Structure 1
Amino acid sequence: MKNIKKLVTTACIIVFTFSIAGCNMIEKTPEAIANSTVAVVNGEKITRGDLDKNPNTMQLISQAKQQYGEDYAKNDEAVSVIKNQKGQILDSMITMKVIEQKAKELKLLPDENKLKSEMNSQIAQIKKQQFGNNTEQFDAALKAQGFTESSFKDMYLSQLKAQQIEQKVSDSLTKNVKVTDKQIEDYYKANQDKFTEQTDKMHLAHILVKTKDEAEKVKARLDKGEDFAKVAKEVSEDTNTKSKGGDLGTISYDDSQYDAQFMAGAKALKKGAISGPVKSSFGYHIIKCIDKQEYPVKPLSKVKDQIKKQLEDNQKTKLVSQKVQEWKKAANITKKDKNIM
């Protein structure tokens, strides 16, 4: 009964809106909004409905409701964030549309009947493994995410199709990629610390300043015998380590949280050594290697297959990325940002 009343109330509001707006200013219906164009790729439209049904958009809206409440659309900050994120999602959809069009041209589109069969099989597996084939629990989980079984299948089929298209296009473009023994050996020699029996570690301290000139002055003071920790407490710009005399603790060689240039400078130091100015995205560092633990390097024979796969994957990723950018550049793409929200 409540749902019927809600529908009736909504209908009355729509009629009232039409009656006062007249012919000059008619509010768009949800259907009209869903059918509005947000982008055109070589003559093919991407609609607002397509964008709003994208799983990334649905997740974005769910997060917005959690953070800003159900009335998130009335919050300027929320609207700004959502519009920016939806723009990025739309860019990804445009890229996928370009790839799909090229896949069609190259006769690489997956068979629709096989896709549906695979989709049904995978969903049945999810239903069995996660819900014990309990239909009510499965439907409730879908509802909590804003899906009906039908809309979930549409989304799942779309995502499965996109994955298979990307894989087929990638396989087609990269079938001739080969990695030579010399490339493998060169990579092995240049990246010895990646193939040690255990991960190499170093205990570091640093002093961060803004300019190279400041760093050279710091190094000169240290060369004259001043205490590293004392100088760090006095001049370092790193507020997280300044009070600790610049001590960063023990860092693994493969720690990706640190700037690559900083890590390269640190790895080059012997135990007890202090570097000259090392530039990073944060400024200039003077680095001290307090201690170092380096382990034996595995023989090439043990890591050759691993390196080969990594180099092949790197080449394939680069080749596909370059080709997709070429296709996008050649495509006729129009975006209608005003229709995103």
Structure 2
Amino acid sequence: MKKIISILLILVLAFSMAACTSEKETTDLVKVGDTVINSKQLDEYIALVGYISGTSDMSQIPEEQMEEIKSVMLDNMIELEALNQYYKDKKDEVLPDTIEDDYKKFIEDSKSNETIKAFLDKENISEDTLKTFFYSQYYSQSLFEEAAATIPTLEDDIKAYYEKNKENYKVDEIRASHILIGDKEHKPEDKALAEEVLQKIKDGASFEEMAKEYGTDGTKDKGGDLGWFGKGDMVSEFENAAYALKKGELSGVVETEFGYHIIKLTDKREYKPYDDVYLEIKQSIVDPVYSEKINKVKKEIGVEYLSDEVKKPETDKK
């Protein structure tokens, strides 16, 4: 549900075109194709950005910085509206076959959450508006992939960037499995059982089978696997014991606030894996090309500034 809330807020944040409840006088700021964006819509957009970023009191932002924020946010709104219009007649090319079912599920999940439902009702956000915003995520991704397709050496460029900048992805992470026995009560019999299980493993019993049989937390059905983690992710007693191990080595019985652990170090790594940073690097390489394409889209759709209340972004200055 957290993911649904996040997606919904981002989509609504993209354009609060239907939220028109304020009594404040509005000024038409810009015309994108045949669509006009006004100051009221921009204010709502900025308020939502502030809400999501945790800056609820926008009055604390200096006036000069606020002007810059308005300029950037207005440009974001222009880009999203331009994309909606650009792909209007190309929907079949960029939308998945399951788009209608995906959208229906999105609406059902959203309305089942009281917080989201209250927000939609208060701001008078229509389903038609939400549908437009839901689709826009696909349009943005489609333009990004169009930009990526113009770089024939992209895959090689990503790999080369990773190797050249590998030190930027340096980590000190380990992967471990554990068997947690007992709980916060720290009963003597639980410690004794942990010692017994540890001996069984040393005598040849499978760590994974012992975890399944004796483990008392959610990792027991995964052989005790905790996945990858770094320093500061675990309580200190557990972390110190795990980091002291060599790959494949077992700890003794380690007592933490959660009970008694037997830890097995399964792997170590010094760098983030290529696959984990692939999309991040791709984004950095493709972004400049994407920016050129979105500027062409805006020019094709037509952007006309109707007021100097908000300054134009640098890319639109003539």
TM-score by length of 2: 0.43
Q: Larger relative contact order (C-alpha < 8 A, sep ≥ 6)?
A: 2
